[in-house]
Structure 1
């Protein structure tokens, strides 16, 4: 800890200057800090004087100047919360040099306050400490009295208390803070630091036992069996077309805007929210095809309905699988007219239906519709024609490379469905596909672990037997072989 001996300081400073003060003054950082602080204080005092004179009105010039000095000192004090040891040492030596028998001439504190850029209350506190140390015949301590980690101790999150609060009272920061009996700002800091996680929860379709079996079987049917040199994986899905319909609304019921302070607030109205202008679109999407140099050979965007076969690449596979949901108004899978039209001009088109209550198994519901709807809302259409143009524009500017991202997300979701045995109680995975694409290692398909495939087969058989009231347990192949041996 650095200290100053008062007696040695007096003995070594018979003139106006001292060796300690000259050493401190030769340090460029201290001098530059002092000069800069003095200039900042003078500029702040000048600006504050002008403001104070304007607002004072009938006040005298001396009162305005006093107010300006107080404001400048307050601003300077807010900018500098703590003094460094070298700055504190310079202030102590300046006070000792100006004092006579521990008495300062009138106005010394204010003068040194402007020179060093420190508030006069700070100098008065330092001078009080100096006089007390001299009277007690102790060395003058330069460093602060703070030991270790000083300041207000952080509030710790009580995880058990947080989990004891019902979910219905954890919908926003205000209700959560009220339930935990802490300040809203404290809860906000917990969220900012990641100690409390913000989660958006969406309602998912209710799945029956049959639905789970169908979902699990569907995912397993997409797996290509392993060979000697490969492991099980999902197909590349280049010959699969996803079709679905969606309502696109003219505007949102509640929308956020960022306005200037004096800007007029927008006024939106409609006769009834139930009858907002909307248009239904049916969209067809396939996987984009890129060349060896990453050039786009086929963007996968087959267009809005009606679907035209001119958009399908000529050299692509002739067998096409058109996937739709199970809506009753859709074509039947074995419709005769569709079969006759689908087997012309060298095409062999099959119509398949995804499992019921499974929007997460269709790339359109999985992410494509949300993306083009966000772009459509930015166009702010005012009538039906503009709404149709906005949807088509959003569809056309959708980047083909992102089509591949959505198809990879579909395969990652199928992995999660297999892990949860056909359920939809899983978190949609994120695997930094943008980063992998920049690095040049974005996969075309996702591999399926062999152990997961075995567990899915066992789970599928077990659920099927439970559904039909069979009580026999399903044995693993190794267990079955051991039982036969015995």
Structure 2
């Protein structure tokens, strides 16, 4: 006794032009006003040994071509797309610390200050451990690392606060606002408070209020502009 194995309907199969024409002829015979009855895709896919989703895509392409006054060519086959970007699950994510303020008029300089203080990426140069087709072993590569509270504190003390002191006029009270992200330091952090009050400066670390417009400045401004640049040009490395 010979048992014939039925084709797996969930397994994708490349249909031949004759099979495409046969599938379309079956669906054209049962359609009403270009509407396919229920379970038609399943029946046709069972006859041809392919998935119902493949038959559905075939019918939608033919239906759209007929609506546009064109004939659907079953002989043509779509070429495989040329993929130049990694899957989003494997794209390296770089964390930035961005400090901005409200733009204002500077009367001493007779100009408008744009409010941009600085951007600090959390990256480090490391030697490549193994060789690959892209670079030899020992080449300096830009790598990301996990940002915790200690790293965030060091960035505040050694980068952000000195840059604010360089750009901001002395004698003015400054409020450093941050949200409740996990790496952010506490409001009474000793190292940050010491850096804020050094050399007579009057700085205070505060928490941004909920639904404050200041919380959305980075999301709607800086990060939105980064997304626009990513749509215009695909970056392959961290340097780009």
Shorter-chain TM-score range? 0.3 to 0.5
Task: Give the structure with the larger helix fraction.
Answer: 1
Answer with 1 or 2: which has the greater Rg.
1
TM-score after normalising by structure 1: 0.22
TM-score after normalising by structure 2: 0.42
